Amino acid sequence: MLLSDRVAIITGGAKGIGRGIALKFADEGCSVAVADIDMKEANNTVSEVTKKGRQGLAIQCDVTDGKQVKSTVDKVISTFGRIDILVNDAGALLSKSAIEDLSEEDWDKSMALNLKSDFLFCKYVVPHMKKRRYGRIINISSIGATYPPAHAISYNPAKAGVLGLTYDLAYALAPYNICVNAIMPGPVRTTFYGSRVSDDAFFAELGKKAVPLGRVGTPEDIAGAALFLASELSSFITGEELRVSGGIPLTPSPAPK
């Protein structure tokens, strides 16, 4: 198994991409702590982890609150003894307002959820990784960080900030054998799309129009990339952003006749 006896903490692991990563890691021998504000869904994820024969822990956490983040990290350390892998997945598109209509409050909320949360978890996890001179940090950015598919002025810049955080930490932590990388998902069928998540026709059309490979992604697609970056298969890779986007930003070519 690629992650035998490893311990991972996954923010936003209650559903969507985070849940997909949690289950993929469990399949590969990893114990998983899920930090999420949605305790019901976090417990559901952990239940699936334990069904796979791995240890799981659900912790209710507002990932934008430093005190709660520190408490969460302390609880994972006290339960498992260490943290080998940190996946910063928590995030959401909170507003689609044009820049002239976006309030400062909504801007701050988006930055807190999509960028500050990554900083906070790194702040409290990194000291433990440094002591052990080992770690894998995977930050979930977005294709919108560099190739915005739509105007989302409070979301896309936050996800670009995640890339900056990734590069800086990769440089600073390399002497400690801590690899820091980012994943940039393209369109993935999750509740990111709100009520449209159950609309088959919408996703079929989105895949056809926007994605060179002709379909939108699944949480499992992102989980496969996360598994690679969390495992020893990527031990000589740090400071990289991995687009898992079905070929975006390439333009879809005409369907073969």
Would you please indicate which residues are annotated as catalytic (active-site) residues?
A: 155
Q: Which residues pair with 242 in a beta bridge?
A: 183
What is the C-alpha separation between 210 and 83, in angstroms, rounded? 38
What is the C-alpha separation between 190 and 198, in angstroms, rounded? 9
Say if residues 114 and 92 touch (Cβ distance below 8 Å).
yes
Instruction: Count CA within 13 A, CB hemisphere, residue 15.
Output: 11
| Residue 238: partners with Cβ closer than 8 Å, 6 or more residues away | 170, 173, 174, 178, 179, 180, 181
Which three-class secondary structure string do you get for 96-149? CCCCCCCCHHHHHHHHHHHHHHHHHHHHHHHHHHHHHCCEEEEEECCHHHCCCC
Other C-beta atoms lying within 10 Å of the C-beta of residue 64: 19
Nearest 5°: phi and psi at 27?
A: -60, -30
